[in-house]
Structure 1
Amino acid sequence: MIEKLLKLKEKNPKIIVGLMSGTSADGIDVAVVKVYNSGTKTKVETLGWKTFAFDEGLKKMILRNSQPETSKVDEICRLNFLLAQIYVDSIFKTLDELGIKPSEVDLIGSHGQTIQHLPNEVEIFGYKVKATLQIGDPGVIAKLSGIPTVGNFRVGDVALGGEGAPLVPYFDYLVFRSNKLNRLVLNIGGIANFTILKKNCDVEDVFAFDTGPGNMVVDSLMKLFFDREFDENGEIAQKGKVSDDLLQKMAQHPFINKKPPKSTGREEFGSNFVNQILKWSEELSLSPEDIIATATEFTVYAIYKNYENFVKPNVEVDEIIVSGGGARNKFMMWALERYFNVPVKFTDEFGISSDAKEAICFAVLANETISGNPSNIKSVTGARERTVLGGIYF
């Protein structure tokens, strides 16, 4: 096994599959990449990627088991194995489409499906505990695919007192740092987070954190009002009018002004927050279109407010590079340009698909694990030390 690991470490380039299923529980992104070298010499070539939507019943089961009041331990146990089987199935379908044999793949990097992320410390039986749980067991993926798999990336950072998130900033540092420009690399998935890369930065100069909801709140409202999974191109938001009164109420959410390091998820911006928005909207007699427009505006407002409070005093950004589902929402992109007044670009212009960025990221993080390189950033997660992330399963 050690010989196998050493051989894998030395192989250059490696063909790696990256897997991501996000907080929204919409489905799985599978990215197949060729990764050259490691660390700051890393180069990534995307061979292809594919998205597989989750069955509606499966999505409901995942979301039900992400809420303490409706979760069941037997369902979580089965989901842990079921998701691994679905991941492997999706990998094989993607490889087949690309004409790549599973035996040609060197490694899989899997983020897993987060069902609870609890970065706030609580005392239990005299121990101080932070916790995070991603299911879709990497050990099962490795056995069923026959490909070495790296998973459980967040655990090591949380064990060392970190938030365990965000982890994408290290990837951003490897791929998007510049000698000439201060960059804000923004990902708008279920949750929005950004990475600040000041020109000529070193890894410990990287500053990043979650800013609040990305598409999560808008998606929930779209489902309730229009029975659609998301607001395609921001079309519904464009028909509505932003309500300043509702926006101000949403802006009172304590997470927005909380100092970094910080990370968030469904616990803060899930059904409870959506129900609160519905109550306020009823009091203000707002139309569904106005509510969608305001919730979309709130995502960008939270991004800008976090920048203004915690970044701008030290670094003024020259450009924004966007990825994630939100990159396709025109209303969101216009709002970004309006708030920041700097060029807004997409990661696609840098050879990284804005839809598959996070899946590509976990392929690169798996390569860093195999190479023995720490891939958390203390200034980002608040961990006591830098560490190699993830467990390796054969």
Structure 2
Amino acid sequence: MIKQKSMIVAGVMSGTSADGVDVTLCRISPAASGSPHIQLIGTKAFQYPRALRETVLASMDAKSMSVADMSRLHWRLGEVYADAVAVTAKQFKIKPALVGCHGQTIYHQGTATKYLGRPVRCTWQIGEASILTERLGIPVVSDFRAADLAAGGQGAPLVPILDYTMFRSTKMNRVLQNLGGIANMTAIPAGASINNVIAFDSGPANVVIDSCMVKLFNRPFDRNGAIAKQGIVIHDILHKLMQAKYFSTLPPKSCGREEFGRGYVDQFIALCRKHKAKDADIIATATALTAETVLHAYRRFVAPHLGLKAPGVRHTEYIVAGGGAKNAALMLMLQSGLEPLGVKIRMMDEFGIPTQAKEGVAFALMAWLTWHGLPGNVPAATGASRPVILGKVTHG
């Protein structure tokens, strides 16, 4: 094992929403407790130009893009990530020693499907790491999900290693909720070892809402939930959609645009139109779908794991991060569902990490672990057969 040392690491994340890139600079140091100490230095967000975002979204539909254009996009995103790290490092006047770059997920299939005579699970994140290494002059860790998938896991969620490192408590249960394109949650019972952590994707967070906003209002997202607040939730549709098999499937499980992408949104809008829904009603119902899938997952899978047998149990904190945390309509729905269960909602910002920086911090941590030959997955969360070292290192 490599001797552990303090390093400044840049975590680079571009999520399922495909709205842009977040770069987070952290100082990560070994600690006597065994878990590394993480100090946030700074974070910066970069929006994809409109044409690039449209191309990224199109690439998630394999029938709409040639192999040549897919390759070009892979290399173009490498340039985007390199530019983002360089600008962030210059702004904070600090040079990272290592980069952890998640890349842009184009396809993720965590469960096996028969292909050419054999069951196959697969994942694909693009953005050429060699460009970052060449431009920045530092090593890059990328392609984090593949090792967990090869070890029998779903390749997701990977953020639980950060959740456990930073947020475990001996005195209270904690649930870490990320509301990015997809909603994922990590449940850590009070005093739990890493083997007692569960984590999984509960379903859509912003992906359906944002896609509906683009189609109906030509806007990338519902700022502060303003449109959802004007609409009426169509509960008959909500009840029908909640019958989908994914929501009742036991963890570990993961999902993405493969389940909740363009085709799902087209069917969702068509279903709403049959109920004579106005545009604002469709956004309200999409927002309620996110809230209900999260609440259903909490009640069915998380509460029993935390030992919550009845309403009114205290000492459970529900810590929310991701772009969806800025959607006031969504947060009000979640609050209304969780507070009667004795669950206190807190924002990630209260813990010193900006709402949208969490995943960048997570991949900075995973890169640091990989560099030191340490595993970065949580088998109890992904379903992997063992802890594995994540990612591939590009030295240049």
Query: Do the structures match in fold with TM over 0.5?
Result: yes
Q: Are 1:98 and 2:92 counterparts? A: yes
- In terms of mean alpha carbon deviation, does 70-79 or 158-167 score higher? 70-79
Structure 2 runs not aligned, ≥5 long: 309-314
Structure 2 residue corresponding to 1:77, chosen from 71, 79, 83: 71
Alignment match, 1:239: 230
* Separation in structure 1 between the aligned mates of residue 36 and residue 285 of structure 2, nearest angstrom: 40
Corresponding residue for residue 360 of structure 2: 359
Shift of 1:80: 1.1
The whole-number CA distance in structure 2 between the counterparts of 1:97 and 1:261 is 39
Report the counterpart of residue 339 of structure 1 in structure 2. Answer: 337
Post-superposition Cα deviations, 1:214-234, rounded to whole Å, max 9, x if no partner, equal: 100000011111111111111
Q: Does 1:369 align with 2:345?
A: no
1:220 aligns with 2:215: no
Deviation digits for residues 275-318 of structure 1 (CA, Å, limit 9, x no counterpart): 11111111100111111111111111001111222222231371
In 2: Cα distance, 1:49 partner to 1:182 partner? 28
- Cα offset for 1:45? 1.4
Once residues 241 and 48 of structure 2 are traced to their aligned partners in structure 1, the CA distance between those partners, rounded to angstroms, is 30
Deviation at residue 127 of structure 1 after TM alignment: 3.4
Map of 2:311 onto structure 1: none
Report what 2:269 is aligned to.
278
Residue-by-residue CA offset, 1:317-372 (whole Å, 9 max, x unaligned): 71200000001011111111111112110111111111111011100111111122
Q: Which amino acid aligns with 1:221?
A: C
Match of 1:349 in 2: 350
1:235 Cα deviation after fit: 0.9
| Total equivalences in the alignment | 384
What is the distance in 1 between the residues matched to 2:169 and 2:328?
Answer: 27
**Is residue 208 of structure 1 aligned with residue 199 of structure 2?**
yes
2:169 counterpart residue number: 178
SS at match of 1:75: helix
Q: Indicate whether 1:22 and 2:19 are aligned.
A: no
Alignment correspondent of 2:283: 292
Equivalent pair of 1:130/1:161 in contact (CA under 8 Å)? no
Equivalent position of 2:318 in the other structure: 320
1:114 aligns with 2:105: yes
Percent identical residues? 40
How far 1:125 moved relative to its partner? Answer: 3.9
Secondary structure of the corresponding residue to residue 191 of structure 2: coil
- Indicate the residue corresponding to 2:247 in structure 1: 256
Contact 2:100 2:141 in 1 (8 A): yes
Alpha-carbon distance in structure 1 between the residues aligned to 2:197 and 2:304: 15
SS of equivalent residue, structure 1 residue 211: strand
Give the CA deviation at 1:56: 0.9
Contact map agreement 1:65 1:76 (CA 8 A) in 2: yes
Q: Is the 8 A contact 2:205 2:324 kept in 1?
A: yes
Residues 284 and 175 from structure 1, CA distance in 2 versus in 1: closer, same or farther, beyond 3 angstroms? Answer: same
For residues 233-286 of structure 1, give each alpha carbon's deviation from its aligned partner in whole angstroms, at most 9, with x where no partner exists. Answer: 111111112111121122122211111111000010001111111111111001
Q: Secondary structure at the match of 1:229?
A: coil
**Offset, 1:10:** 3.7
Q: 1:137 corresponds to which residue?
A: 128
Q: Residue 82 of structure 2 aligns with which residue? A: 88
Q: Of 18, 26, 35, which aligns to 1:41?
A: 35
Tell me the alpha carbon deviations over residues 75-101 of structure 1, each in whole angstroms, 9 at most, x when there is no partner. 11111111011111111111111122x
Q: Which amino acid aligns with 2:13?
A: M
What's the CA shift for 1:40?
4.3
After TM superposition, the structure 1 stretch with the greater mean CA deviation from structure 2, 86-95 or 305-314, is: 305-314
Partner Cα distance (1:61, 1:107) in 2: 29
- Output the CA distance in 1 between the equivalents of 2:334 and 2:205: 13
- Structure 1 stretch displaced more, 183-192 or 239-248: 239-248
Please tell me whether residue 392 in structure 1 is matched to residue 393 in structure 2.
Answer: yes
Rounded to whole Å, the distance in 1 between the matches of 2:263 and 2:34 is 42
| Structure 1 residue 191 displacement after superposition | 0.2
Q: Provide the rounded CA distance (Å) in 1 between the counterparts of 2:186 and 2:237.
A: 28
More displaced stretch, 314-323 vs 379-388: 314-323
CA root-mean-square deviation: 1.5
Report the equivalent of 1:32.
Answer: 25
Once the two structures are TM-superposed, the CA of residue 139 in structure 1 deviates from its matched residue by: 2.7
Distance in 2 between the 1:128 and 1:280 partners?
Answer: 34
**How far off its partner does 1:126 sit?**
4.2
User: Does 2:44 match 1:50?
Assistant: yes
Q: Which amino acid letter does the alignment assign opposite residue 319 of structure 1?
A: E
Q: Distance in 1 between matches of 2:11 and 2:303?
A: 33
